[in-house]
Amino acid sequence: MSAAEDPAAAPPALVAPPVMAVEPAVPADIPAIVALNNLFAPDGLTLTRTPAFVAGHLADYQVIRAPDGSVTGQVALDDYSPSLVELVSLAVAPEAQGRGVGQVLVAAAEALARRRGYSELFAISLAEALFLRMGFQESSIAVYPEKIARYRGISRSELSIGRKFCFAKRLTAPAAAAH
Ligand SMILES: CC(C)(COP(=O)(O)OP(=O)(O)OC[C@H]1O[C@@H](n2cnc3c(N)ncnc32)[C@H](O)[C@@H]1OP(=O)(O)O)[C@@H](O)C(=O)NCCC(=O)NCCS
């Protein structure tokens, strides 16, 4: 009798989906956030961030952790006005990429932006498939002079990426809860 036919046999183990709890970053995460973010800066995929910058914007960072507590993914918000905010510092450790961590982080950043009342979220990223899948529309960095003005030292690579790979999402107010 095969195991499948044996009623006493243990049921096959279900493969649980990866647990991806998104958490607000804490001060102890700062070195790991800086290291993961800056890993991709030489390729122009992220802007170089300093520990001082991350510390000053810690409330804007969210992280996903490995079972040992280390940071495997992160995302942050960088606001320009009460209505416009950019999704920045999206980064997933190379060994954890391609398993949906980035998607969970984009959703978490969007949720935080909605909670904070922004009406528009944009991002500059080569991960076109990811952002389109998450409901973003193609846009252009030219639409956001606020960004170009803030980062006068914006890297040439980011500027050229931004001309072709800029994605935006209008955030409508969530439906009012029924009372
Ligand atoms: C972009 C990034 C955060 C995605 O994380 P992830 O955990 O691999 O994302 P997911 O598994 O949820 O989704 C992967 C999708 O991202 C896309 N993607 C990831 N990196 C990409 C890149 N460099 N160029 C183009 N697409 C990319 C893939 O097309 C993939 O889509 P697919 O599954 O349809 O093929 C990760 O690749 C990363 O850290 N990249 C370096 C930093 C960076 O580019 N950050 C974006 C700044 S806004």
- 47 CB near ligand 1 (under 6 Å): no
CA 132 to chain centre: 14
Assess if residue 35 is contained within a domain: yes
**Residue 157 or residue 146, greater confidence:** 146
CA distance 59 to 81: 17
pTM of the prediction?
A: 0.84
| Three-point CA angle 165, 79, 102, nearest 5° | 50
Ligand 1 and 162: CB distance under 6 A: no
Torsion angles phi and psi, residue 67, rounded to 5: -55, -30
The answer to whether the CB of 102 is under 6 A from ligand 1 is: yes
- Ligand 1: residue whose CA is nearest its atom 19: 127
Which residue's C-alpha comes closest to atom 27 of ligand 1? 127
Residue 179 placed within a domain? no
Provide the percentage of residues in the chain whose pLDDT is more than 70.
78
The answer to the question of residue 9 being in a domain is no
8 inside domain:
no
Strands 84-92 and 71-79: antiparallel
Query: How many angstroms is it from 149 CA to the middle of ligand 1?
Result: 27
For the chain, how many structural domains are there in total?
1
Residues 44, 155: contact at Cβ < 8 Å?
Answer: yes
Residue 13 lies in a domain: no
DSSP 65: E
pLDDT tens, 59-82? 999 999 999 999 999 999 999 999
Whether 14 is covered by a domain: the verdict is no
* 175 in a structural domain: no
Domain range for 114 is 22-170
Within-domain flag for 80: yes
Question: 22-55 pLDDT, tens per residue?
Answer: 999 999 999 999 999 999 988 878 888 999 999 9
Cβ proximity of 64 and 36 under 8 Å: no
Tokens 């982080």, residue located: 105
Nearest CA to ligand 1 atom 35: 129
First to last CA, the chain: 58
Any idea what the CATH number is for the domain that residue 33 is in?
A: 3.40.630.30
* 146 alpha carbon – ligand 1 mean position (Å): 25
Please give the mean pLDDT across all residues of the chain: 85
Give CA–CA dist 13/89, Å, rounded.
Answer: 37
Which atom number of ligand 1 is nearest to the Cα of residue 88?
Answer: 48
In which order are the strands placed within the sheet that holds 71-79?
22-24, 61-65, 71-79, 84-92, 120-124, 166-170, 137-139
Cα 158 to averaged position of ligand 1 atoms, centre (Å): 16
